[in-house]
Structures are given as structure tokens and as C-alpha cells.
Amino acid sequence: MGVKNYIVAIELGSSKIAGAVGVESIEGMNVIAYANEPVNGFISKGVVKNIDETSICLSSLINKLEGQLDEVSIKKAYVAIGGMSMKSVKSTVKIEFDEFTKITQNIIDDMAIENDNLFAVPEGYQKVQVITQEYKMGGDSSINPIGMSVRQIEGNYINIIIKEQFVKQLEESFNLADIEIAKSFSTAKINAEQILSDEEKRDGCALVDIGAETTTVSIFSNNIMRKLSVIPLGGYNITRDFSAEHISMADAETLKVHAGYNAERFESCIDKELRDNIIGARMAEILQNVNHQIKRSGENIACAVITGGGARLKNIETLFVENMPGLRTRIATEPLIEFNSSIEPKLRKGEISSTLYGLLKNGKEGCCQELPPTPPATMQDMFEEKQPEVKPVVEQSQPVVKEEEKAPIVVTATAPETKTITEEKEEKKAPEKKTEKEKSKSKGRTFGLFGDLFGNLGATLKQGAKDIIENATREEEDYNEEDNEL
């Protein structure tokens, strides 16, 4: 059975690294796996600071995703990149013809190649993505000029560039985690495709992505991205200000998320007035920079769409009205198109970001491969530990062993010794002689008690009794003779 066309997406942020696996179905993109890992300072402002820790985090993320899949391993992933090292630079390619010429696809492709060759990438940067804005032909402009007959054509492009050092560190982290980067996309471009409506992009819109440490501003007009800029301010600025009031960073983050701006009732160690002052001041700083980027674009902007983690701050719309009057405001924490999910338990609302979903939609090439099959277990493997060791039984006639005749058991007895006064005197005078006497007595005081134990029992007992009497009589006579000799 072949591996399904599983698409793997990974988003790197300053607060967490998130990943998802999806497969295209009749109903649309179906998300079948999701996981995330916290980032503890090794990614800052969207830039990898510690390669080893980032690779460990990626490996852990991949293991979590693979644990939700069926016998497949993840080999590559589509990645969204952003952060302070990214910015946009405009460029123009112009072609003049000797006579009116119909624009073909080959001419459009040649203009894109010429842009790649002529655009001078700043030192220390490399190009990530090229976004075609529009084509101008005299006083007319068009997104798709193919088929038009013109004397000249001018193509306008936005080149998304990023610092080479960041790309190298990112690639090395993925290499250490044994994951190939299938293709990388600009986070701003991916988010715009999933969050902004055609009407918003046509009328003029600022997509404001408020992250943990950066805020990305993408300006759209006439359905085209006109400008991309990154501001080095984000939601952590509010958290750090709260923690300066002698509370932990964890408590400060909880306070920021759950209390928000101008909360009616919320019990905390920081009173409402101080909370509103901190949040109001930091958000005013961010939004004033956003407003500056809008003005620099020179585009007429009718609305602002807020996304990212900062968009979850309660009553953030009020802050936009106070700092950016005249703009319609919309909060967008999820893609416009709802996606299916077969993950159990079901994902919480907004858990998968629009960036991850956009990466899944843009992925074309399968990212997984089937695990090598496990060899089937043999009967011996299945019962090897349960089967006791069986020893062969050898049938043979056993010889009858004849019991050896046992010798009579001899019991040695010593008669009580009586001494006279004369003997005691003799012992004192001749101790050596006494020793010899005792040895002699010892040798003569043994007698047999039993006869053959395995013969006829009656005869044996009778004969044994007779022997005992004779031996006892003989012993007594020997004993008396020895005494007489002394």
C-alpha cells in the first residue's frame, strides 16, 4: 500500500514551534496531526539563536507528529519564515519593442528571469520570494497582460529578502533534526492568502500580525502586496512590563491574556488602572509604528486586519480605534475557509494558525515515506519464552544393584573403673605405667551387638542374643584376669 500524499507544515515563532500534517480530500484539506513545542529563548524575533536547541525542539516536534500517523516517517516539511531579518525591496523590469507586440507567457517568464538577474541583493541577504505586483503598459496597468498588444511593458516586483545568516542557521537546525526543507514561504504572504478577503485586498488593507516579539505589517492594494515590513515589538513587551511589578513571567502572561484592556472585573495583584496604562502604552507604541508603515507605502488603506497571538488580547479593537482612527478593524485568528480535522480529541478553536493551514494548502509534494515492514513473527519467536526446555528421554534397562552385605556394627563399651587405695598410690608413683594399663583395658572391652541384618530375622536375633551373652561372659573373665595381673 502506497503512502498517502501527506503534507507537513512547520511554523517557527519566538514563543513556540508548531507543526501540522494534512492530506487533501474531497471535502478539502483534512488535518490529521498537530503538535507544538515551547521555545525558551533559542529563537528570538523570528531568528534562530541556538542551532542545537532548535534542532532538539524540531526532533521532538516531529516525533509527536509521527506518533499520530500510521507507520510513516516524516522526511521533509514546508516552512514559513519571517522575523526581523526579513524585508521587501521593490524592483522594475522594462522592455520596449520595435513595433506593437502581443504579450505571451514566454515574455512574462523572460521578464521574471531578468528581474532575478538584475536585482542587486544587498550584501548579507538572499532572496526568498518574488511577488509580482502589476504590469504597466503606457497609461494602463494589469495583473495579467497576456494577449495585449503593446510597444512597451514594465513589470513591478517585490523581492522578499532575508539575512543569509538566518537561513544558514535555520537550514543547519533542520539538517541536525534530519528534516529536509521542501520549500519556504513568507509568513506574511501565506497569512494574507488565508485571512484577507478579495474585497479587503482590492480596497486597501493592512494585515497586522502581532507576534510575541515582532509585528509584521503587510500592505495590500488592488489585490497586490505593496509593502512588507517588520517592527521589533510584540506581545512580550506587555508581559515584561507586568513582570516588573514584582510578579512572575507566567503570572504576567496569564494576566495579559485573561484581563486584557479595560476589563470590567478581574482580580489581580495589579489594579485595573495600572494594567490599562501598561497595555495602552505598549500597544500605542506598536500601532503608531504600524501607522507609520502604512503612510510610507503611499497606498490608500481602508481597513486593518489583526492576527497573530496579540490579536487575542481582550478589547484590542478599542486600542486600534484610539490609535488609528478612521480604519475599519477586524480580528482574524483563523483562516476564512474552515478546514476538516480528524484529530481526537478535536482541536480547540484557533489552535492551528492560518500560517500552518496556508502551508498545508501550498504544499504539493508528499513529505512522508512508509516505514520498512516489520518481518512477521515466527512461531518460535512468539513462544520462545513460554516453551520449557525439553530434555530427551533415553529408554534403557536399569541394572539391579545388589545391596552389599554390611559388616556387623561393633559397639565399644567401657566398664566402670574401680580403684583401690593401693592403685591410687601406684598411679602417683608410675603414671606412665597407668597409661599403658588403660590402653590395654580399652582394647579388650569391645563386643558385637548384632549379626547379619538381612538374613533370617528370627535366627539372627537368636544368634545375636547368644553371642552377646558369650561375649559378655568372656569380657568379664578377661577383665578379672587383667585385674588379677595388676
User: Is residue 470 included in any domain, yes or no?
Assistant: yes
Domain that holds residue 474: 410-485
Q: How far is Cα 82 from Cα 163, in angstroms, rounded to an integer?
A: 11
Distance CA 213, CA 286 (A): 11
CA distance 119 to 117: 6
Q: Domain total for the chain? A: 1
Domain assignment of residue 151, yes or no: no
Kindly report the backbone phi and psi dihedral angles of residue 117, in degrees, each rounded to the nearest multiple of 5, phi listed first. -80, -35
**216 inside domain:** no
pLDDT tens, residue order, the chain (486 aa): 456 789 999 998 888 899 999 988 877 788 899 999 998 888 887 788 899 999 999 999 999 999 998 888 999 999 988 888 788 888 999 999 999 999 999 999 999 999 988 888 888 888 888 888 889 988 788 888 999 999 999 999 999 888 888 889 999 999 999 999 999 888 888 889 889 999 999 999 999 999 888 999 999 998 888 889 999 998 888 988 988 888 888 888 888 877 878 877 777 778 888 888 999 999 999 999 999 999 998 899 989 999 988 888 888 888 888 888 888 889 887 777 767 777 766 666 667 888 898 999 999 888 988 777 666 655 555 555 555 554 454 444 444 444 444 445 444 444 444 444 444 444 444 444 444 444 444 444 443 434 444 445 455 555 655 665 565 555 545 544 444 443
Q: Which residue has the cell 506581545?
A: 235
Cα 59 to Cα 57: distance, rounded to the nearest angstrom: 5
C-alpha cell at 460: 539372627
> Is 465 a domain residue?
yes
The answer to whether residue 378 sits within a structural domain is no
- Residue 52 Cα distances to 36, 48, 171, 297, 415, angstroms: 18, 10, 12, 39, 98
Q: Is residue 294 part of a domain?
A: no
Note whether residue 430 is domain-resident.
yes
Q: Is residue 449 part of a domain?
A: yes
